[in-house]
């Protein structure tokens, strides 16, 4: 079992539930994306299901239960997620779950349900789930995992014991990233930390997928528009193809950083500390009021991003506005 530095405290709480014999029937694990909440939930489930856990409530790794868990075939561990990424957990899924839970667990330990992401329960499925929570079956532990607890109905929240995972501090993340990839410089690790908003697994994912180099290419295109050497329509078309890159978020960080540079904010407060020189130079040739207008436009786009918005037109609108307000003398 590999625990990350920022998970240790939460893991201790989970161990205490078992060793002090006060395992909650419903547990909500919440916290930002990229902190390994599902990993913790799974580890807790392993400890609950193991036949011979250690006295610290760690699974033994060699009993029948542990073997079944390793093979992902343990009958008393049930995982519920949307059938398609981004879709809801349906009422049918919950009905099937409830009917399964009406049977006795196969082993004489617990039975564990991990429901993730819990905020994907829609009204109907949340109601069906709540009904079960009001009269749960014996030895059944429900673990709900969510990035946005505030989107869950208060009726469900009030029935769960809560465990919230916090982000580690910047230095912990930077050291952790550099430990995983010793070639990373301190500045690169800092940029990864900033652009992932401090979520270590997200930062590591950015690292292994070379996201910083993609961001650099995109930022160079942003500079090219200011210098009139590339056309917004062409760039928008290219950006629309980069489906994995969080481009709207990156554009937001450039604009916010430009505003911060205008107010002479220290480098450590920037999302893109490595781009400070270029950002400061861009801001010198751009009117601050116009930058705020661009910022408003971007905030509006962010509100619409999860709808059926045409992303290419959205990028065109942002980039044409950027072309108009940048003075072309960078």
Total site size for Zn ion, rule CB under 5 A: 5
Min dist CB 1 to Zn ion, Å, is 12
- Which of 14, 40, 45, 66 forms a contact with Zn ion (CB under 5 A)? 66
What 3 state SS string does 291-328 have? HHHHHHHHHHHHHHCCCCCCHHHHHHHHHHHHHHHCCC
The nearest distance, CB 129 to Zn ion, in angstroms, is 29
Least Cβ distance, residue 67 to Zn ion (angstroms):
8
Residue 60 touching Zn ion (CB under 5 A) = yes
CB count within 10 Å of CB 174 equals: 21
Q: Which of 58, 63, 197, 259 binds Zn ion (CB under 5 A)?
A: 63
Structure tokens at 293: 């207008």
The token pair that represents 229 in the structure block: 């050497």
* Shortest Å, Cβ 58 to Zn ion: 9
- Helix (H) or strand (E) holding 248, with range, is helix 247-262
Give least dist CB 49 to Zn ion, A: 8
User: Which CB atom, from 58 or from 297, has the smaller least distance to Zn ion?
Assistant: 58
Smaller CB distance to Zn ion: residue 60 or 130? 60
Minimum Å gap between C-beta 43 and Zn ion is 13
The smaller minimum CB distance to Zn ion, of residues 109 and 311, is found at 109
Rounded to 5°, angle at Cα 108 from 104 and 112: 65
Are 74 and 67 in contact by the 8 Å Cβ rule? The answer is no
In sequence order, which residues have a C-beta less than 8 Å from that of residue 204 and are 6 or more positions away? Answer: 177, 180, 192
Report d(CA 94, CA 80) in Å as an integer.
8
Shorter beta-carbon distance to Zn ion: residue 66 or 145: 66
Site for Zn ion in 21-50 (CB under 5 A): 50
Indicate the residue among 54 and 155 with the shorter CB distance to Zn ion: 54
Question: Which window, 61-69, 72-80, 215-223, 322-330, contacts Zn ion (CB under 5 A)?
Answer: 61-69
Cβ(272)–Cβ(236) below 8 Å? no
Of 50 and 256, which CB lies nearer to Zn ion in the complex structure? 50
| x/- letters, 113..152, toward Zn ion (CB under 5 A) | ----------------------------------------
47 vs 196 by CB, closer to Zn ion: 47
Beta strands in 8-96 (DSSP E): 26-30, 77-80
Q: Which is nearer to Zn ion, 14 or 144 (CB)?
A: 14
**Minimum distance from residue 68 beta carbon to Zn ion (Å):** 10
Q: For the chain, state the CA radius of gyration.
A: 24
Q: Which of 24, 25, 18, 23 is nearest to 56 (CA)?
A: 18
CB of 318 to Zn ion, least distance (A): 54
Q: Among 45, 38, 16, which Cα is nearest to 141's?
A: 45
Which residues bind to Zn ion, rule: CB under 5 A? 50, 59-60, 63, 66
């Amino acid at each position: 079992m590999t625990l990350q530095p920022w998970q240790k405290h939460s893991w201790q709480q989970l161990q205490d539930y078992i060793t002090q014999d006060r395992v909650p029937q419903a547990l909500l694990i919440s916290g930002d994306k990229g902190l390994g909440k599902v990993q913790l939930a799974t580890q807790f489930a392993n400890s609950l299901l193991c036949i011979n856990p250690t006295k610290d409530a760690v699974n033994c790794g060699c009993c029948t239960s542990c073997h079944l868990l390793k093979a992902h075939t343990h009958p008393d561990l049930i995982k519920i997620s949307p059938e398609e990424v981004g879709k809801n957990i349906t009422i049918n899924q919950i009905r099937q779950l409830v009917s399964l839970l009406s049977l006795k667990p196969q082993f004489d330990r617990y039975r564990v349900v991990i429901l993730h992401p819990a905020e994907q329960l829609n009204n109907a499925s949340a109601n069906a789930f709540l009904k079960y929570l009001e009269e749960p079956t014996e030895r059944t532990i429900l673990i709900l995992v969510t990035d946005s607890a505030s989107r869950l109905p208060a009726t469900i929240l009030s029935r769960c014991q809560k465990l919230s995972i916090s982000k580690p501090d910047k230095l912990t993340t930077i050291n952790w990233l550099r430990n995983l990839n010793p070639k990373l410089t301190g500045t690169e690790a800092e940029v990864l930390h900033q652009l992932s908003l401090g979520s270590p697994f997200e930062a590591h994912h950015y690292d292994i997928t070379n996201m910083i180099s993609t961001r650099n290419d995109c930022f160079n295109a942003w500079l090219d528009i200011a210098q009139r050497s590339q056309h917004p329509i062409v760039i928008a078309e290219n950006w629309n193809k980069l489906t994995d890159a969080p481009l709207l978020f990156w554009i937001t960080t450039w604009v916010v950083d430009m505003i911060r540079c205008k107010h002479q904010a220290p480098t450590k407060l920037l999302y893109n500390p490595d781009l400070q020189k270029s950002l400061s130079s861009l801001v010198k040739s751009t009117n601050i009021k116009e930058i705020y207008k661009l910022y408003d436009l971007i905030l509006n786009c962010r509100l619409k991003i999860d709808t059926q918005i045409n992303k290419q037109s959205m990028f065109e609108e942002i980039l044409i506005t950027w072309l108009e307000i940048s003075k072309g003398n960078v």
